[in-house]
Chain A
C-alpha cells in the first residue's frame, strides 16, 4: 500500500470521527429547539418571567415561573466558585512552591481521585453527612449552602489540576529572573507566577463554572428543590438542572416544551461560557508571543 493511499484512508476515517462528534452536538441543539418550539412559538416562554411560582402539576392554577430557578443556578454556581477557586489555586501554589515532594505528589493523587469520584457519591455524601450537620445549625439542611459546598468539592479538582499544570508549564526563566532580581518568594508568587499563569488558571475556572452550572445528580439530592427566591444561605433552592431531572420523565404538552426551553437556556449559558473562553484565548495570544 502506498503512503499516499494510507494517508487518504487515515484522513477519511479521522474526518468521519470529527464529523460525527460535531454533528451530534448540532443534532442535540436542533432537537432541543424542535422540542422547545411549541413553547417558543406560542409565546408561552413569557411564563418563565411573568409567573411567580413553579407549580406545573397544579390543576387549579398551573404556573411556570423560571426566574427563581435561573437565580438558583446562578447562586449555587457563584457560591461553589467562590469556595473552590481560592482553595484550588492556593493548593496548587502550595504544592509547587512550599510542599515537600512526597506531599505534593500525594496532593496530586488526592485531587485526581476526587476528580474521579462519581457525582452520585458526592450527592449521597452530601445528603447523609453534610445536610444533617447544616440541619442542626439551621433547618431544613437541604439548602443553597449544601448545594454550593457539594459543588465546590466537585469542581475543586478541575480548578486545582489546571492551575497546577498552568504553573508548571511556565517558563523556568521567570523564576530565575525573579531570583536574580532578588525578589522574595511571596512577591515572586503573587506578582510573577500568578499573573503569568492567569490564562491557564482562568481557563480551568471557566471549565469548573461550566461543570457547576450543568451538574444535576448531586445537586438534586442536596438542594431541597423548592422553587423560590432564597433569602439566606440556608433556604432550599431549585436550579434549572434539578427541575429538568425531576420532571422531564413524565412532563407533557406545555410543561414538556417549557422544560426543553429551560434546557435550551442552559445550553446557551454554557455556550456563552465556551465562547468567552475562546475569546479570552484569542485576546491573550499576542501577549504570549511578545
Chain B
C-alpha cells in the first residue's frame, strides 16, 4: 500500500478516535455561563469538585448575568450564574442562592473622598455633580465609569438609585468587574460601582483602589451579612426545570457548606443553610 493511502487512513483513524473521545467526555462535561461576579467563586468550587469527582469536567464562562439566564433558557448551558435576584417576568427559570454580595462604589486610593450619600451618587451618575471639589475632593472632573447594559451590577445599581439606564451619563463604559477595577486603578479621577467581593479582594492584593461608604455605612462583608448595607444582592445559580446528573450533583455541592471557605476567601457572604 502506498504511503499516501497510509497517511489518509491514519488521519481518518485519528479523527475517528478524536470524535469518539470527545463524545465520551461530553457526557461527563458541564458548561456554566453567566455573571463575572459569580464566576471566580464557581470556578474555584469547580476545581475542588473535579478533584473529588474524577472524570467530571466543568467549564466556567463569563459574559454577564443576562447571558447566564439566556443560555439556560436556550439550553446552551445547564447551569447559569446571575448576580441578581430574578425579575417577575423570569418565572420560567429557577434560582438557587449560593452567596450574598453587595455593590459598592470604588475610587482611586489617592482620592481624599471617603464616602458619598445616595443623593450624591445619583447626582454624579447624571452629571449634575461633575467635579470632585464639590464633594470635598481635589479640583478635578469626575470620570464616571458605568457598566454595559445587560450587566447585573448595572441593574442592581439602577434599582438602588431609581434611575433609568438612559439617565446615566457615563464617561467610560466597561463590561466585567475587573475592567471597572482596572479603570479606577489607573485613573485618580474615576468612580465606578462593582461587586464588594471583587473590589475588596483586589484592594487587599494591593491594587490602588478604595471602597467608600454609602450614607455612612462601610462596604464590608459584615454589613452585607447583617443586611444593613444599602445595595446587596444574591449570587444565584440559574436552572430551568429539573436538573439531573452532574449538573444536579454540582448544584447541590455549591449549595452545601463545603464551599463555605471559598465563599469567604472571595469576600462574599455565605448564606446560612
Closest to A141 in B: B187
Q: Using A132-B186, A140-B190 as known contacts, say yes or no to A224 and B172 having CB atoms under 8 A apart.
A: yes
Residues of B in contact, count (CB < 8 Å): 35
Write the nearest CB–CB distance from A281 to chain B, whole angstroms: 34
Cβ contact within 8 Å between A139 and B66: no
Interface residues of B in 257-273 (CB under 8 A from A): none
| Chain A residue at minimal CB-CB distance from B171 | A140
User: Across the interface, which residues of A come within 8 angstroms of B69, CB to CB?
Assistant: 250
Q: Which of A19-27, A54-62, A76-84, A107-115 contacts B (4 or more CB under 8 A)?
A: A54-62
Check A251–B150 contact: CB distance below 8 A. yes
Contact yes or no, B66 A135, CB < 8 A:
no
Dominant SS at the A interface? loop
Q: A127 to chain B: which residues have CB within 8 Å?
A: 179, 182-183, 186
CB <8 Å contact, B165 and A249: no
In contact, B172 and A236 (Cβ under 8 angstroms): yes
B166 touches A58 (CB 8 A): yes
Among B112-120, B141-149, B194-202, the one that faces the other chain is B141-149
Is there an interface contact between B165 and A142, defined as CB atoms closer than 8 Å?
no
**Most A CB atoms within 10 A — which of B8, B70, B170, B173?**
B173
Given contacts A13-B8, A250-B150, contact A131 B173 (CB under 8 A): no
Q: In the complex the two chains form, is B70's CB within 8 Å of A220's CB?
A: no
Q: A272 interface residue, CB < 8 Å from B?
A: no
A6 proximal to B (CB < 8 A): yes
A60's nearest neighbour on chain B, judged by CB, is B164
Check: A152 CB closer than 8 A to any chain B CB: no
In the complex, per-residue mask of A202-237: 1 if CB is within 8 Å of any chain B CB, else 0: 000000000000000000110011100000000010
> Is residue A183 contacting chain B, with contact meaning CB distance below 8 A?
no
Question: Is B251 in contact with chain A by the CB < 8 A criterion?
Answer: no
- With A250-B70, A252-B70: A128-B186 Cβ-Cβ less than 8 Å: yes
Q: Give bound CA distance, A215 to B166, whole Å.
A: 28
A224-B171 in contact given A135-B186, A140-B143 (Cβ < 8 Å): yes
Q: What is the bound-complex CA distance between A251 and B170, given in angstroms? A: 21
For residue A239, give the distance in angstroms from its CB to the closest CB of chain B: 13
Whether A140 contacts B150 by the Cβ 8 Å rule is no
Contact between B172 and A226, CB atoms less than 8 A apart:
yes
Nearest B-chain residue to A124, judged by Cβ: B182
Which A residues, 123 to 144, have Cβ-Cβ distances below 8 Å to chain B? Answer: 127-128, 131-132, 135, 139-142
The smallest C-beta distance from B34 to any residue of chain A, in angstroms, reads 9
Cα–Cα distance between A146 and B63 once the two chains are bound (Å) = 24
A238 interface contact, C-beta 8 A: yes
Q: A127-B182, A220-B175, A226-B173 are in contact. Are A246 and B148 (CB under 8 A)?
A: yes
B residues at A contact (CB < 8 Å): 1-2, 4-5, 8, 63-67, 69-70, 140-141, 143, 148-150, 154, 164-166, 170-175, 179, 182-183, 186-187, 189-190
19 chain-A/chain-B pairs, Cβ below 8 angstroms:
A9-B4, A9-B8, A13-B8, A55-B149, A60-B164, A60-B166, A63-B166, A131-B183, A139-B171, A140-B189, A141-B186, A221-B179, A224-B173, A236-B172, A247-B148, A247-B149, A249-B66, A250-B67, A251-B150
